[in-house]
């Protein structure tokens, strides 16, 4: 866990300290527990910290004119420790995934003395992409059915864990696959070393392993049919006492999301510097048509998904009940949207989804080291440009022909038709089915991921 503490100089009465006998200004802690390594949470954590956005948006007038803010960021690799710190009164805000959010709300309500409120979303994918199941790069496993009799590690209690339980149950594999509890970093290391048959994780660990060429995805979260997202909770007593501070935190989050949306390559490079996650992986999430949509409104789809998730949590690990009508509170977010001159209701009703052959998106990109991102009108054009490139390439990007999900070119299975056009697929089986139905041949692979033919 990494902690950053800054005493923000936001008082308008700093000169008071110069006068003896005058009481010091009130100090209010703004403690945020976040997960810098999780792409869907960065707009509620690491970006706020590094761009100093809280100092810009926290209130400094009225009852806050003499206030000094003790801004604390604590960085974790999962949500449960954040909930523990909030229960202990050491953090006011928590940024975490959908399953940990539910546990947070339920555990607080169970105390009968304190509660939290779910107040906004930091990032989402309607289909559930971001969660995934990965196997070692040289594994002969190609599908869920191949996992029968094998071991699969996952951070238990995470969104990826929920996806895994659903996927195994629907495939009739619940009693045939042994689940082991492992953190993201440990699971990724074990995949690289071949010490585990498969590892399921949340964003962006599947894509980290793909990019590093240590793992290969055999199941994408979109196949589970449940949205995935991360969001913000706040201790209810704190929110009631300091509603303007809650609004300020949310305004800072909205500015962070705007920065990511408008500057995806810059955001990828900066967040990479701050976290160590490869910029190429972050661009896969942040870019136009990428995996993450950074938008904060609380949509009906998210509440419905969490109600489904709660049933799973109650059944599998005995999580207590959660009164969603009490817990979900978008009043602070509505105030923040209004202050930022944004139409909250319009954004609630607008949900970004992927679609095959999206006319608004170019089908392929190359990130050159020297000239940045270049888009191409076809995958075939991109491959030709890659072959002819005279400068180093950071990464290539394409879209899955079936879902429209954005992929690394080197992790995709590509098929060239008789007309020379190239289509890309997330999974080998899908590319083989396409060849059987439409003809074509596998494209010469970009790396060993696609050489499994």
**Residue 421: pLDDT over 70:** yes
Nearest CA to 421 out of 361, 365, 358, 377 is that of: 377
Q: Decide if pLDDT at 343 tops 50.
A: yes
The count of C-alpha atoms lying within 13 angstroms of the C-alpha of 202, restricted to the half-sphere facing its C-beta, is 34
Domains 2-125+229-348 and 132-224 share a fold: yes
423 forms bridges with which residues in the sheet?
Answer: 415
What pLDDT is attached to residue 412?
Answer: 94
C-alpha pair distances (Å), 287 with each of 30, 279, 282, 362: 30, 11, 8, 12
Helix/strand/coil (H/E/C) assignment for every residue in the chain: CEEEEEEECCCCCHHHHHCCCCCCCCEEEEEEEECCCCHHHHHHCHHHHHCCHHHHHCCCCHHHCCCEEEEEEEECCCCHHHHHHHHCCCCCEEEEEHHHHHHHHHHHHHHCCCCEEEEEEEEEECCCECEEEEEECCCCCCCHHHHCCCEEEECCCCHHHHHHHHHHHHCCCCCCCEEEECCHHHHHHHHHHCCCCEEEECCCHHHHHHHHCCEEEEEEHHHHCCCEEEEEEEEHHHHHHCHHHHHHHHHHHHHHHHHHHHCHHHHHHHHHHHHCCCHHHHHHHHCCCCCCECCCCCCHHHHHHHHHHHHHHHHHHCCCCCCHHHHECCHHHHHHHHHCCCCHHHHHCCCCCCCCCCCCCCCEEEEECCCEEEEECCHHHHHHHHHHCCCCEEEEEEEECCCCCEEEHHHCEEEECCCCCEEEECCHHHHHHHHHHHCCEECCCCCHHHHCC
Contact 222, 128 (CB under 8 A): yes
Looking up tokens 């991921």, which residue turns up? Answer: 449
- The vertex-128 CA angle with 423 and 137, nearest 5°, equals 60
Predicted confidence at residue 108, as pLDDT, reads 98
The confidence score (pLDDT) of residue 445 equals 54
Write the CB contacts of 163 (distance below 8 Å, at least 6 apart in sequence).
Answer: 128, 131, 200, 221, 224, 226, 228
Tell me the pLDDT band of 390, cut-offs 50, 70 and 90: confident
Closest CA to 221 of 173, 176, 179, 167: 167
18-40: pLDDT as tens digits: 333 334 589 999 999 999 999 99
Q: Which CATH superfamily is domain 2-125+229-348 in?
A: Periplasmic binding protein-like II (3.40.190.10)
Q: Judge contact between 42 and 271, C-beta under 8 A.
A: yes
User: What residue spans define the domains of the chain?
Assistant: 2-125+229-348, 132-224, 364-451
In degrees to the nearest 10, what's the CA dihedral of 287, 289, 293, 297? 130
Mode of pairing for the β-strands spanning 215-220 and 178-181: unpaired
For 273-298, what is each residue's pLDDT tens digit? 999 999 999 999 999 999 999 999 99
Find all residues with CB under 8 Å of 30, minimum gap 6, and list them: 54, 58, 69, 70, 71, 72, 92, 93, 245, 249
Residue-level pLDDT at 1: 65
Confidence of residue 359 (pLDDT cuts 50, 70, 90): confident
Confidence class of residue 230 from pLDDT cuts 50, 70 and 90? very high
Task: For the chain, give the mean pLDDT.
Answer: 91
% of the chain exceeding 70 in pLDDT:
92
The predicted pLDDT at position 13 comes to: 39
Taking the C-alpha atoms of residue 84 and residue 408, their distance in angstroms, rounded to an integer, is 37
Over residues 110-135, the pLDDT tens digits come to: 999 999 999 999 999 999 999 999 99
pLDDT at res. 23? 45
Selected residue with higher pLDDT from 8 and 186: 186
Phi, psi of 244 (to 5 degrees): -70, -30
Count of CA atoms in the C-beta half-sphere (13 A) of 267? 26
Please tell me the predicted confidence (pLDDT) of residue 157.
84
The phi-psi region of residue 404 (left if phi > 0; otherwise alpha if psi is between -120 and 50; otherwise beta) is left
For 132-224, CATH number out of 3.40.190.10, 1.10.3720.10, 3.30.420.40, 3.90.1150.10 equals 3.40.190.10
């Amino acid at each position: 866990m990494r902690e950053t503490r800054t005493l923000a100089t936001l008082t308008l009465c700093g000169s008071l300290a110069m006068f003896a006998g005058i009481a010091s200004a009130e100090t209010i802690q703004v403690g945020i527990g976040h997960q810098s390594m999780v792409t869907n949470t960065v707009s509620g954590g690491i970006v706020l910290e590094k761009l100093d956005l809280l100092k810009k948006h926290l209130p400094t007038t009225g009852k806050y004119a003499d206030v000094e803010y003790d801004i604390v960021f604590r960085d974790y690799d999962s949500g449960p420790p954040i909930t523990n710190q909030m229960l202990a009164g050491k953090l006011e805000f928590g940024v975490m995934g959908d399953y940990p959010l539910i546990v947070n709300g339920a555990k607080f309500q169970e105390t009968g003395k304190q509660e939290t409120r779910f107040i906004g979303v930091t990032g989402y994918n309607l289909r559930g992409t971001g969660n995934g199941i990965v196997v070692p790069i040289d594994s002969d496993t190609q599908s869920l059915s191949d996992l029968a009799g094998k071991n699969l590690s996952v951070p238990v209690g995470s969104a990826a864990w929920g996806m895994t339980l659903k996927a195994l149950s629907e495939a009739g594999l619940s009693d045939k696959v042994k689940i082991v509890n492992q953190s993201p970093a440990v699971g990724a290391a074990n995949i690289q070393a071949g010490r585990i048959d498969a590892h399921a994780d949340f964003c962006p660990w599947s894509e980290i392993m793909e990019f590093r060429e240590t793992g290969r995805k055999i199941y994408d979260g979109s196949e589970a049919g449940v949205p995935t997202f991360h969001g913000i909770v706040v201790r209810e007593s704190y929110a009631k006492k300091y509603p303007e501070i809650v609004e300020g935190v949310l305004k800072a989050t909205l500015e962070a999301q705007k920065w990511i949306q408008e500057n995806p390559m810059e955001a990828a490079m900066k967040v990479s510097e701050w976290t160590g996650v490869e910029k190429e992986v972050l661009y896969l999430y942040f870019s136009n048509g990428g995996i993450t949509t950074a938008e904060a409104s609380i949509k009906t789809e998210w509440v419905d998904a969490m109600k489904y998730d709660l049933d799973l949590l109650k059944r599998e690990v005995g999580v207590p009940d959660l009164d969603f009508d009490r817990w979900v509170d978008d009043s602070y977010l509505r105030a923040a949207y209004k202050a930022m001159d944004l139409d909250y209701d319009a954004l609630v009703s607008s949900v970004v989804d992927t679609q095959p052959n999206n006319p608004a998106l170019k089908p392929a990109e190359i990130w050159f080291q020297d000239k940045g991102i270049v888009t191409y009108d076809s995958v075939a054009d991109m491959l030709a440009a890659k072959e002819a490139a005279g400068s180093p390439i950071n990464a290539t990007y394409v879209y899955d022909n079936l879902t429209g999900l954005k992929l690394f070119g080197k992790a995709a299975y590509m098929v060239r038709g008789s007309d020379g056009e190239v289509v890309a697929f997330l999974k080998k089986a899908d590319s083989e089915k396409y060849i059987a139905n439409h003809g074509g041949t596998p494209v010469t692979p970009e790396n060993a991921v696609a050489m499994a033919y």
